[in-house]
């Protein structure tokens, strides 16, 4: 039975015009693109990837190395065509500085956190040429309507305040996109995504992803992908490929490798991952009568549904102070037969004070204030902790720089001292040579003098 299900739907197979749910898992991994189709109602799907990224250190502030876990959670519950997803990543990043000297440090935290939703706007229908029996050529010819893509729209919010230092962009920024998918055959499809991210911030960017997927058989599929990101301060791109293996109808394994082109450098990213879904999908049905007409349930009548907001509010307030018509009456039945003139005692019930709307609002307000104060205190504590961490890191970097400068000064002093010694040694050597030369000259002069004196004496003797 499982093999039949696996053969019925492949890993990135084409979907029918309206159905979103597939009998086997339909994962976006291992690529970076996203299909315009949702996972289907009642499906809870988790797609994970363990990645390692390495690029050369650039001339300025950069992130040359990252290792972490990328998670994408997908589900659909309001509408079959509407999907909600959460995309986040926990990573350990190397932050490097390169100017005169190169230094780096590591930090761990969330590198992205995006809540989004996508909706399938248009799904074209293709001609089933397998039913064509009159012409072999018509049965095997290409359906040119397959160039018309399936169209989906995406909208999401990036939460950048609690990400790690390098990826922290602060605040909440929107993200919108258009998701396209062309199914050129039962085995080949191409997904194209166009995004406008971080709208309204200094980090806004445009990006595209084009992924081609080919199914080799019922279990194996491969993909090739190209991505480009155009930001205000830099442009990056990547080219990658990989494969996926369908383990069961609810689990898929995948692996990928890609080349990254960043800041005139070429790096590499490798990833392995697994996708798993919890399938709670139930096919909807329509109840019809014996004539084939749809049976609709009677809606309960709400007398306040046509009123405005303030009308419904004043109606509820009025009901709080309205007197009750039904009252509990206690009659004294212990009367003697002779006493016909005894009056009938009717006791009114005790009124119980109902909680007023003001008290309810006050309690809710106090609870909300307490919750806000607690959140503010927690945020203040977290900010203080982060500031202390930053201060310790700055002090550590400062101490490291001071020690490096001290070592440089000691090395320069030793070199100067060595040069002075060499100079002094050369000077003493020159002085010694001059002294020896002077002594030789003096000896020569004395010899000349003695020679002249001897010649003079010989002349006198003659």
Residue 97: the pLDDT is: 78
Residue 286: the pLDDT is: 58
Q: Which CB contacts under 8 angstroms, 24+ apart, belong to 21-27?
A: 21/80, 21/281, 23/249, 24/246, 24/249, 24/250, 25/246, 25/249, 25/250, 25/251, 25/252, 25/275, 25/276, 25/277, 27/244, 27/252, 27/254, 27/275
For residues 7 and 13, give the distance between their C-alpha atoms in angstroms, rounded to a whole number: 11
Residue 18: the pLDDT is: 46
Burial of 294 (0-12, 13-18, 19+ CB in 10 A): exposed
Final residue of a structural domain among 279, 305, 332:
279
> Is 326's pLDDT higher than 60?
no
User: Which element (helix H / strand E) includes 247?
Assistant: strand 235-248
- Count of domains for the chain: 2
**What Cα–Cα distance (Å) separates residue 371 from each residue in 161, 171, 358, 368, 374?**
20, 21, 20, 5, 5
Residue 353: the pLDDT is: 42
Residue 42 lies in a domain: yes
Average pLDDT over residues 172-178: 95
Residue 366: the pLDDT is: 83
Average pLDDT over residues 244-256: 94
Residue 330: the pLDDT is: 41
Residue 159: the pLDDT is: 92
> Is 151's pLDDT higher than 90?
yes
Final residue of a structural domain among 234, 253, 279:
279
Residue 52: the pLDDT is: 96
Residue 354: the pLDDT is: 46
Closest to 209 measured CA to CA, from 234, 232, 190, 186:
190
Least confident residue range of 62-66, 122-126, 304-308, 417-421 = 304-308
**Do the beta carbons of residue 175 and residue 199 sit within 8 Å?**
yes
Residue 226 lies in a domain: yes
Residue 415 CA from chain centroid, whole number:
52
Of 173-177, 214-218, 328-332, give the range with the top mean pLDDT.
173-177
> Is 64's pLDDT higher than 90?
no
pLDDT tens digits, one per residue of 74-117: 999 888 899 999 999 999 988 887 776 777 888 898 989 999 99
| 300 compared with 459, residue with greater pLDDT | 459
Average pLDDT, the chain: 80
For residues 318 and 302, give the distance between their C-alpha atoms in angstroms, rounded to a whole number: 17
Residue 453: the pLDDT is: 84
- Rounded (10°) angle between helices 357-461 and 309-321: 130
Per-residue pLDDT band for 13 (boundaries 50, 70, 90) equals very low
Residue 104 lies in a domain: yes
For residues 58 and 60, give the distance between their C-alpha atoms in angstroms, rounded to a whole number: 6
Average pLDDT over residues 401-410: 91
Residue 79: the pLDDT is: 85
Residue 359: the pLDDT is: 66
- Bridge-based pairing of strands 172-183 and 235-248 is unpaired
Residue 319 lies in a domain: no
Per-residue pLDDT band for 257 (boundaries 50, 70, 90) equals very high
Residue 364 lies in a domain: no
Final residue of a structural domain among 245, 279, 313:
279
Residue 299: the pLDDT is: 53
> Is 4's pLDDT higher than 50?
no
Residue 354 lies in a domain: no
- State yes or no: cis peptide before 21, omega within 30 of 0: no
Residue 177: the pLDDT is: 96
Residue 296 lies in a domain: no
For residues 419 and 186, give the distance between their C-alpha atoms in angstroms, rounded to a whole number: 80
pLDDT tens digits, one per residue of 46-59: 999 999 999 988 76
Average pLDDT over residues 393-421: 90
Please give the residue range of the domain that contains residue 79. 2-279
CA angle (210 as vertex; 172, 215 as ends), nearest 5 = 120
Per-residue pLDDT band for 133 (boundaries 50, 70, 90) equals low
Average pLDDT over residues 391-400: 91
Residue 287: the pLDDT is: 61
Residue 208: the pLDDT is: 96
CATH number, position 228: 2.40.160.40
For residues 400 and 394, give the distance between their C-alpha atoms in angstroms, rounded to a whole number: 10
Contacts of 48 (CB under 8 A, 6+ apart): 69, 70, 71, 72, 273, 274, 275
Average pLDDT over residues 319-326: 52
pLDDT tens digits, one per residue of 365-393: 888 888 888 899 889 999 999 999 899 99
Residue 53 lies in a domain: yes
């Amino acid at each position: 039975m499982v093999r039949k299900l696996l053969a019925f739907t492949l890993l990135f197979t084409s979907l029918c015009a309206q159905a979103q749910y597939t009998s086997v898992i339909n994962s976006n991994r291992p690529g970076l693109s996203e299909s315009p189709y949702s996972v289907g109602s009642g499906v809870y799907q988790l797609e994970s990837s363990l990645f390692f990224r390495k690029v050369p250190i650039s001339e300025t502030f950069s992130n040359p190395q990252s290792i972490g876990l990328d998670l994408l959670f997908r589900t659909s519950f309001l509408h079959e065509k509407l999907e909600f997803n959460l995309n986040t990543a926990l990573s350990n990043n190397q932050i490097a500085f390169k100017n005169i000297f190169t230094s780096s440090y590591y930090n761990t935290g969330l590198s992205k956190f995006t809540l989004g939703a996508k909706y399938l706007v248009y799904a074209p229908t293709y001609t089933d040429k397998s039913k064509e029996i009159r012409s072999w050529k018509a049965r095997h010819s290409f359906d040119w309507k397959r160039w018309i893509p399936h169209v989906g729209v995406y909208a999401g919010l990036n939460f950048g305040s609690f990400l790690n230092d390098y990826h922290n962009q602060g605040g909440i920024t929107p993200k919108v996109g258009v998701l396209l998918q062309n199914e050129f055959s039962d085995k080949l499809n191409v997904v194209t995504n166009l995004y406008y991210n971080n709208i309204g911030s200094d980090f806004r960017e445009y990006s595209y992803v084009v992924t081609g997927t080919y199914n080799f058989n019922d279990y194996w599929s491969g993909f090739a992908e190209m991505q480009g990101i155009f930001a205000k301060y830099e442009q990056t791109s990547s080219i990658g490929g990989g494969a996926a293996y369908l383990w069961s109808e609810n689990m898929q394994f995948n692996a990928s490798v890609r080349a990254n082109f960043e800041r005139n450098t070429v790096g590499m990213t490798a990833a392995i991952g697994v996708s798993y879904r919890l399938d709670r999908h139930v096919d909807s049905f329509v109840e019809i009568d014996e004539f084939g007409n749809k049976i609709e349930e009677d809606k309960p009548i709400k007398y306040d549904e046509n009123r405005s907001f303030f009308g419904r509010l004043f109606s509820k307030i009025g009901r709080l102070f309205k007197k009750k018509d039904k009252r509990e009456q206690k009659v004294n039945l212990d009367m003697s037969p002779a006493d016909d003139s005894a009056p009938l005692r009717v006791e009114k019930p005790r009124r119980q004070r109902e909680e007023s709307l003001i008290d309810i609002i006050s309690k809710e307000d106090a609870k909300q204030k307490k919750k806000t104060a607690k959140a503010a205190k927690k945020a203040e504590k977290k900010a203080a902790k982060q500031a202390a961490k930053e201060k310790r890191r700055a002090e550590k970097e400062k101490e490291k720089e001071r020690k490096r400068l001290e070592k440089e000064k000691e090395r320069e002093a030793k070199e100067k001292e060595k040069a002075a010694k060499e100079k002094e040694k050369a000077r003493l050597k020159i002085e010694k040579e001059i002294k020896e030369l002077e002594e030789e000259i003096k000896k020569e002069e004395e010899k000349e003098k003695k020679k002249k004196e001897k010649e003079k004496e010989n002349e006198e003797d003659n």
